[in-house]
Amino acid sequence: MKRQLRVLVILTAALAMASSASARDFHLFLNVPIVTAVTDRLPLGGIGDGLHAAQESVHEVVGRLTGVRLPHDYLWLHLGKTRVPIDPINFSR
């Protein structure tokens, strides 16, 4: 189990870094029975939409205050019924 989680973290980080180099979203679907069993039982169904909206708000505020444009690319991590947006950090003017 520890090995699977370590691979998951490494893969997620690698995809997040790779996604910052392009202008599109990536979707990673994971089917790890123990993880999906836990996430499907928790009230996390709408967490992805709320996190996405919060990150977009941060993009807007940072852009307005500093003039720095933040890309709107995401790595979407799908764990059973739960989806989580991961916003790779990549700054440009």
pLDDT tens digit string along 8-26? Answer: 666 665 555 554 444 578 8
Q: Give the number of domains in the chain.
A: 1
Which residue has better confidence, 23 or 4? 4
Where in the sequence is the domain holding 19, given as residue range(s)? 2-86
What was the pLDDT predicted at 19? 46
With respect to residue 93, please indicate whether it lies within any of the assigned structural domains: no
With respect to residue 91, please indicate whether it lies within any of the assigned structural domains: no
Q: Is the pLDDT of residue 76 over 80?
A: yes
pTM (whole model) above 0.75:
no
- Residue in 51, 43, 41, 53 with CA at minimum distance from that of residue 77: 51
Q: Show the CA angle centred on residue 56, arms to residues 53 and 60, nearest 5°.
A: 135
Task: Tokens for 37, please give them.
Answer: 């069993």
What was the pLDDT predicted at 15? 56
What is the mean pLDDT of the segment spanning 34-63?
Answer: 80
Q: In a 10 Å sphere around its CB, with 0-12 CB exposed, 13-18 middle and 19+ buried, how is residue 83 labelled?
A: buried
With respect to residue 37, please indicate whether it lies within any of the assigned structural domains: yes
CA 83 to centroid of chain Cα atoms:
8
